Amino acid sequence: MTTSSRTGNTDTTAANPALLRTAAELDALPRPSGAERAVVMTMGALHEGHATLIRTAREAAGPDGQVVVTVFVNPLQFGEAADLDRYPRTLDADLETAAAAGADAVFAPGVDEVYPGGEPQVRITAGPMGERLEGASRPGHFDGMLTVVAKLLHLTRPDEAFYGQKDAQQLALITRMVRDLNFGVRITGVPTVRDPDGLALSSRNRFLSPQERHTALALPRALFAAQDRLAAQQALHERAKATAPGGDRAAGLNKLGEARAAADAQAVALARPNGAPAAVRATARAILEEAAARDRHPLVLDYLALVDPADFTEIPDDRESGDAILAVAARVGETRLIDNIPLTFGALT
């Protein structure tokens, strides 16, 4: 599975998108005849990651289809008023980014338009999955997210909606909501976009000082090191299996006589055909702990979790096959960052 794509420079030349401020204006937007409407939901402060989502939606909708981008900073998703006030608002620049990426319309309503009469009395509840990881760190966040996503899906009425895999738990919850509540829309995830140094693009990255950004690079380093460890461990077991077909894999590993096999005590002891989840966790944690021990601009780890993408429960150490997500959240200075990478155990067998 592709884990990331690098920042690109290719833009789609497009006319300025229509700026819509009210639900009535959005409702009056003509739907394409015989083609599809795609939507990309954002909270503004658009960057190349958002542009990639819009370009992906543009390609999916086709030249005769329609791409609508929503820009709305949802107060229900913020636990503290200070975080809500601090969130960047750059609508003029967002319109330029949306236009270059191929959007036909930008729906940028105010809070009173989305929540007339104040915060909604009835909300979507995220359920048990919404209480894990990000939900545990930010109580109520996913209820607020799903509530506004449900409302925006009703308002925009798309055939397909696109969300970034960087927010993997959010994507999983939206997918589950659409399935459980029979929304008539396809949900499509788009791989994480990263800067050349590996940091996942985020509107919050602008708050990092150069020194803090250097610390923050521990997040992608930890994830990709864990991915490499899994690949190496699975390749090692494949070689051991070939060396001792139908026999003792531990003996096969020893027969290889490699320093890597001798040093990898866990692989030799467990002799499993696939990489052990414990080794993946340990590899990532070692890098994060090193960043946390720095004297200046240390990384403060919130969580590191290897989870099942279906429900975000922890993967057991005896898992030998199947998909997983290695997710991390940490704070550097005043900025909280999240990242993740998809993994597949047993990919070589």
For residues 340 and 282, give the distance between their C-alpha atoms in angstroms, rounded to a whole number: 15
Six token digits for residue 124: 């979507």
The secondary structure of 58-72 as a DSSP string is: HHHH-TTSEEEEEE-
User: Which residue in 98, 109, 92 sits closest to 15, CA to CA?
Assistant: 98
Q: Which stretches of 202-321 are assigned E, i.e. beta strand?
A: 299-307
For residues 168 and 189, give the distance between their C-alpha atoms in angstroms, rounded to a whole number: 9
Helices first, then strands: H and E counts in the chain: 14, 11
Q: State the sign of the Cα–Cα–Cα–Cα dihedral 271, 274, 277, 283.
A: positive
Six token digits for residue 223: 């994830």
Active site residue 50: yes
User: Other C-beta atoms within 10 Å of 118: how many?
Assistant: 8
Q: How far is CA 93 from the centre of its chain?
A: 23
For residues 261 and 249, give the distance between their C-alpha atoms in angstroms, rounded to a whole number: 12
E strand or H helix at 230: helix 218-243
Cβ(304)–Cβ(288) below 8 Å: yes
Phi, psi (rounded to 5 degrees) for 69: -110, 130
Name the catalytic one among 47, 50, 141, 237: 50
Six token digits for residue 113: 């338009």
For residues 158 and 188, give the distance between their C-alpha atoms in angstroms, rounded to a whole number: 12
**Residues labelled as active-site residues:** 50
